[in-house]
Structure 1
Amino acid sequence: MPDGTGDVLHATLNRPAEPAPDLPLAVLVHGLTGCTESHYMRATAAVLLRRGMRVLRVNLRGAGPSRPFCQEQYHAGRTEDLRSVLAQIPEPLTRSGIVLVGYSLGANLTLKLLGEGTPAGVVAAAAVSAPIDLSETSRRMMSRRNFFYHRRVVARMKEEVLGMPIPEHFKAAVREVRNCYEFDDRFTAPRNGWRSADEYHQVNSAVRFMGGIRVPTLVIHALDDPWIPADAYLSFDWASSPGLTPLLPRGGGHVGFHGAGADPWHDQCLVKFLEAVVGPLGETAVPLTAARAG
């Protein structure tokens, strides 16, 4: 990363046996406590590889294989990292453009980044289950119905951070955290220069930036998502943002969308969207496990 920290982000590049030279590179960005090996990342990669696209699965700062090589930690608004990653991808891979795909926290990052200004080479994007209003998402996460999931995700957040070389006073604060709001208030916000979780949430919610998105972008969110309220999606003025294509089904859960076929419904929608934007995709029987990584 070009910020003087010495942090290094790791990614996995998957290439189909016969890549289509005129198709863009797909760059996938994981969600909270995720990494390149998250099931949704591998599922989308498999779908796109079968269609001749090369796929770069990125570990955010301090996530997965990037963790031993980082002093700092990703968060929902750290778009400068993603912009730096895209700028450093070798030109032969991006000659036909970049398709940026984010999930959950990575989807908020994707939308915020595009709203701040389209990175060079990005020709299309997709966001799946993005917490576009971070404050409302935090409140929903802490609701009674989400007790067991919330307890599990907070434990994973704490484990992720405590495994990094952060100052001891932050480690002490993280150990005492009881919920996701306290995590943001006692660690994420002060660690990154904000006064509180409320300020961090307000500054980094993608809904504030979505009106500035100019590149064709597919936005998928299930209205029954148990962790991300639909209010911000339903109240957004989609008509004034022609670059955005919203798909807001009644059901689907959080990065779920299990369809009748072999591929998740959101991946099927992604393929159709890309064919409308970049042209026909191929169809080959190349599963992710058979792809060459490099």
Structure 2
Amino acid sequence: MPILSSNYQPPFVFKNAHFATIFSATLRKVNFKIARRERLNLQDGDFIDLDWATSQRKSKKLVIAMHGLSGNARRPYMLGIAKTFTENGWDSIGINFRSCSGEINRLYRSYNAGATEDLAEVISHINQTQAYSTIVLIGFSLGGNLLLKYLGETDILPLQIKAAVAVSTPCDLGASLQALDAPKNKLYTKRFEKELKAQLFERQLNFPQKLSKSDISACHSLLAIDELYTSKAHGYKNASDYYKKCSSLQFLPAIKTPTLLINAKNDSFLTEASYPKNIAENSEFLYLETPKYGGHVGFIESNNSCYHEKRALEFVYDFVK
């Protein structure tokens, strides 16, 4: 498919990538309430909490959204996408990855950028208990990488899945981790480290034989956290093995679902690998849009809406009857 042009033009202040990123993540307010929370007990004995929102009329269409690193389904960008779709007649689910709903999960493992088995189990549960004819998947950042990997790693997907959108997605996890280590991103990495270490200290209370407080305290980077916990807790040899096997870049050529990847050119979390122009040009299903502005999930417009929310809805309607 040809590379898509973008007409996103933010208000002047949001042309600054860092201001756009910080505002959208922490300062933006979305007037939207989640209807209910459903706890899905997983086959391995763990659980995932799903935040539901429904349209005013009974819908046969469902959007499933996935958050980023150390996020949850109540973050502004998750509420914004739920609000946009439900106001247009869709039902919505925001997935809280394991340990991200405010309650630590039961098992030693939690979530990672390649844990597609959890997404597959959520979709299977929905198809067994509901009657949606159309499902659209949307992922942000880490959730976008998980989504793209899911779409490309198997030839057989549920027929209900009609389209997908990935926003501000690091397609090469190792390269993006190096980008985050740059001085300009220190504010973000320190916040991630603080939130992830807080979860690890809580997990250590349940698994003192596997984690020590001193080892957690000694982690002073995202790489160190992935070396200590993320990689080994999920069956990888080390952080490098985790990044290599879970990066979505290698799965993009195999995607057979209409998929829009929106990555801003000024996103400081991303590297060249996250703008897969050659793959998109040779794919029938992967559409790449690279707005000049937007930062990391920071596509703010003047009316407190976000460009990527309206763009996602517009894109899926090209493939949903």
Q: TM-score, normalised by structure 1?
A: 0.88
The offset of 1:269, in angstroms, is 0.6
Q: Which residue number in structure 1 is paired with residue 161 of structure 2?
A: 122
- 1:145 and 2:184 correspond: yes
The offset of 1:262, in angstroms, is 4.0
Q: After superposition, give the CA deviation of every residue in 1:110-135 in whole Å (9 maximum; x if it has no partner).
A: 00000012531211111001111001
Paired residue secondary structure (1:268): helix
Residue 185 of structure 2 aligns with an amino acid whose one-letter code is N
Q: Which residue number in structure 2 is paired with residue 50 of structure 1?
A: 87
Q: Which residue number in structure 2 is paired with residue 289 of structure 1?
A: none
The offset of 1:234, in angstroms, is 4.4
Distance verdict in 2 for CA 1:232–1:274, change over 3 Å: closer
1:193 is aligned, of 204, 217, 235, to 235
The offset of 1:154, in angstroms, is 0.8
Distance verdict in 2 for CA 1:125–1:166, change over 3 Å: farther
Q: After superposition, give the CA deviation of every residue in 1:76-106 in whole Å (9 maximum; x if it has no partner).
A: 1111111111101154644312111110100
Residue 77 of structure 2 aligns with an amino acid whose one-letter code is Y
Preserved contact between residue 112 and residue 210 of structure 1 (Cα < 8 Å): yes
- 1:258 and 2:296 correspond: no
Q: Which residue number in structure 2 is paired with residue 182 of structure 1?
A: 224
1:31-42 equivalent positions in 2, closer than 5 A: 31-42=68-79
The offset of 1:3, in angstroms, is 4.3
Q: TM-score, normalised by structure 2?
A: 0.81
Alignment: residue pair count: 276
Q: Which residue number in structure 2 is paired with residue 11 of structure 1?
A: 50
Residue 149 of structure 1 aligns with an amino acid whose one-letter code is Y
Percentage of pairs with the same residue: 28
Q: Which residue number in structure 1 is paired with residue 15 of structure 2?
A: none
The offset of 1:192, in angstroms, is 1.8
Preserved contact between residue 7 and residue 72 of structure 1 (Cα < 8 Å): no
1:53-132 equivalent positions in 2, closer than 5 A: 53-65=90-102, 67-91=104-128, 93-117=130-154, 118-120=156-158, 121-132=160-171
Q: Supply the distance in 1 between the matched residues of 2:93 and 2:274 (Cα, whole angstroms).
A: 30
Bigger Cα displacement from structure 2, 205-214 vs 226-235: 226-235
Q: Which residue number in structure 1 is paired with residue 23 of structure 2?
A: none
Bigger Cα displacement from structure 2, 199-208 vs 110-119: 110-119
Q: Which residue number in structure 1 is paired with residue 30 of structure 2?
A: none
Preserved contact between residue 124 and residue 216 of structure 1 (Cα < 8 Å): yes
Q: What's the Cα RMSD here?
A: 1.8
The offset of 1:171, in angstroms, is 3.9
Q: Supply the distance in 2 between the matched residues of 1:134 and 1:47 (Cα, whole angstroms).
A: 29
Residue 115 of structure 1 aligns with an amino acid whose one-letter code is G
Preserved contact between residue 100 and residue 110 of structure 1 (Cα < 8 Å): yes
Preserved contact between residue 33 and residue 160 of structure 1 (Cα < 8 Å): no
- Gaps (5+ residues) in structure 2? 1-40
The offset of 1:189, in angstroms, is 1.3
Q: After superposition, give the CA deviation of every residue in 1:189-243 in whole Å (9 maximum; x if it has no partner).
A: 1222222211110110000111111011111101110112234414542122111
Q: Supply the distance in 2 between the matched residues of 1:219 and 1:94 (Cα, whole angstroms).
A: 28
Bigger Cα displacement from structure 2, 188-197 vs 247-256: 188-197
Q: Which residue number in structure 2 is paired with residue 288 of structure 1?
A: none
Q: Supply the distance in 1 between the matched residues of 2:74 and 2:178 (Cα, whole angstroms).
A: 28
Q: After superposition, give the CA deviation of every residue in 1:171-196 in whole Å (9 maximum; x if it has no partner).
A: 43322110011111121112222222
